[in-house]
Amino acid sequence: MRCMWLCCAVLALTFTLHAEKKVYNEVAGETVTLSGKLYATPDAVKGLLGTDLGGHYMVLQVTVNPKGDKPLNVQSTDFQIFCEGDGDRTQPQSPAEIAASDSMVLKRGDAGIGSYGEMPGTKWSGVGFGGGSSRKKKDDDSAPATTMKKGKGDSALKTLLAEKALPEKETTQAVSGLLYFPIEKKKLKDLVLFYNTPNGKLRMYFK
């Protein structure tokens, strides 16, 4: 009986993790170590933020840890998610862009707020755990596939996202926060995170 109970508990935990689609990984380069957990489904995003952002976003919880004494300039524009399955790519959107009137239609949610690649010749540094470094990449210059409808902006949503966002600044200390990528309905095995560093690009796969 005890063995059966343990088996059921393990199966339940496995099912929960699969349903939430929260995947962690870590990579390191010469100047920085990068660790991140990707919230890849609307349910996972809602569990993190209290809103699923309309089901149009994946959210990366990331820590950037500089090496040495030289300050690292942390900027959200240095991050990009690329889908090897169809060639879609996207950079993070800022809280202001997400909540802006020309970004998306916001719906009221349970939380009481707005609910809803890489290029040729790249210099690589770091190795993604999970054996992803040997995978081939597709070159595609097309814009991100996700498009948003016009609607009413939500200042409460902007405030929420801004408070949790990755700080953009020069630092010698580790910084952590969230990045909001307008991408949806992709297979985790196809997703690659690229991060620009002073010594080339880091590449992170999610397994």
Domain assignment of residue 4, yes or no: no
134-171 pLDDT per residue, tens: 344 444 444 444 444 444 457 899 999 999 999 999 99
Domain assignment of residue 55, yes or no: yes
Domain that holds residue 86: 21-205
- HEC-encoded secondary structure of 63-92: EEEECCCCCEEECHHHEEEEECCCCCEECC
User: Is the whole model's pTM more than 0.75, yes or no?
Assistant: no
Structure tokens at 167: 């700080």
The alpha-helical segments, DSSP class H, found in 21-152 are 42-49, 95-99
17-52 pLDDT per residue, tens: 444 456 888 999 899 999 999 999 999 999 999 999
177-205 pLDDT per residue, tens: 999 999 998 998 999 999 999 989 999 99
Domain assignment of residue 6, yes or no: no
Number of domains observed in the structure of the chain: 1
38 DSSP β-pair partners: 23, 60
